[in-house]
Amino acid sequence: MTNKSFPVGFILLGFSKWSFIETVLFWAVILLYTMIIITNSAIILLSCADPRLHTPMYFFLSNLSFLDLCFTTTAAPQMLSNLWGPDKSITYTGCAIQLSVLICLGVTEGVMLVVMAFDRCVAICRPLCYTIIMHPQFCWKLVLTAWLSGLIESVTQSIITFQLPFCTHHHLDDFLCEVPAFIRLACGDTSANEWQMIISVDLLTMLPVALILTSYVYIAQALQKLQSDEGRKKAIATCSSHLIVVFMFYGTVAIVYTDPKNHFASKYGKFFAFFYTLVTPLLNPLIYTLRNKEVRDALQRLLRKGVNTQKK
């Protein structure tokens, strides 16, 4: 039986099957969310405050940090509410908004990683033309393209998802409103929705990963011709940081979204969702900060400036 009126909303089962770990996860979410706010805000602040970081690379990195902040902020409050007490409910409107925003931000971040790979490819393969190609207007166009891609996918996927014939119990086996959970909730034929989602996931994961790997093939060829060892090491450090972020993001998303009714995805998908919702947004700035000397130096300059200001 189905019900299309949605008088109550949905029940997010979350980790209720493992109630003994809910308290631990609650405090873990608070800790991770606090660190995400601090680290990603620091990247944005440094990119804006330090003139030496006013380059396309850090412009895109600050946009990635902003996306991570928004993505986690969309999910974390609901997760905390879900983990804290017995009330696991969420209104239909709240669930629809969360689903739409998460899809938009997730797709935008995926496209942004492709843009960052293109930026590194131009910087290493065409260094003399880099400032001409990656001028500010073009960088803004790339960022707007990423956001437009996310918006289009969000509107399309949300409309298709909420046309499913949901079962009357409205129990979502997740702690967030995500498309795979809605497909598992449906009490009718979902093959068309599954195929549509598989095609979307292929286009938004396999194609971007293929473009990123292609750019790194050109980067590897350019690095072989690079004479400076210091320049080669710097390029490798920057590119390896980006690749780590790419595989963390696309790997976990593919596991959850590629086959929503797969036993492994349906049983453990929420743990991978927990990873790309909270762990990946925290690791992104840490990976770039710890492996990037320019960011560490900018942080030290900002701290010294703050100490000197207080002394005066």
Q: How do the domains of the chain map onto residue ranges? A: 10-311
Percent of the chain with pLDDT over 70: 90
pLDDT per position as a tens digit, 245-287 = 888 888 888 777 777 666 666 666 777 888 888 888 888 888 8
Class in CATH terms, 10-311: mainly alpha
Query: Which pLDDT value is given to residue 1?
Result: 42
Torsion, Cα 278 279 285 288, to 10 degrees, reads -160
Contact predicate 167/177, CB 8 Å: no
Mean pLDDT of 210-221: 88
Which band of pLDDT confidence, cut at 50, 70 and 90, is reported for residue 97? very high
pLDDT per position as a tens digit, 12-37 = 887 777 777 888 888 999 999 999 99
Residue 123 or residue 17, greater confidence: 123
Mean pLDDT of 113-127: 89
The position carrying tokens 């696991």 is 88
